[in-house]
């Protein structure tokens, strides 16, 4: 048994426009399976180029909200509100 599932989803990083396609989730039966985004409530991945954290979370209306966090000068992640938005998946 694995500790996460992979999510069959790719997008462009909103910060650097690099392709991001290694999304994971801890929703459901964690068996290292590949699942569709609409079957989970939350999934996430780091951008391989700029290092920002991209996360999608389903809201009460069933839509996904994308949030992005970047690294601060002290190495901790901080919210980047200008990249937060409701997205169609």
Q: Which residue has the higher pLDDT, 77 or 65?
A: 65
**Averaged pLDDT score across all residues of the chain:** 93
% of residues, the chain, pLDDT over 90: 84
State pLDDT tens for residues 43-61: 999 999 999 999 999 999 9
Span 28-41, average pLDDT: 94
Structure confidence at residue 76 (pLDDT)? 84
Task: For residues 48 and 74, give the distance between their C-alpha atoms in angstroms, rounded to a whole number.
Answer: 19
Model pTM score: 0.91
């Amino acid at each position: 048994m694995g500790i996460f599932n992979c999510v069959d989803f790719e997008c462009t990083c909103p910060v650097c426009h690099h392709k991001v396609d290694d999304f994971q989730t801890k929703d459901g039966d964690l068996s290292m399976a590949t699942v569709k985004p609409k079957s989970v409530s939350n999934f996430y991945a780091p951008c391989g180029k700029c290092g920002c954290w991209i996360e999608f979370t389903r809201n009460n209306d069933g839509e996904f909200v994308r949030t992005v966090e970047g690294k601060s000068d002290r190495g901790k992640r901080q919210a980047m509100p200008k990249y937060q938005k409701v997205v169609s998946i």
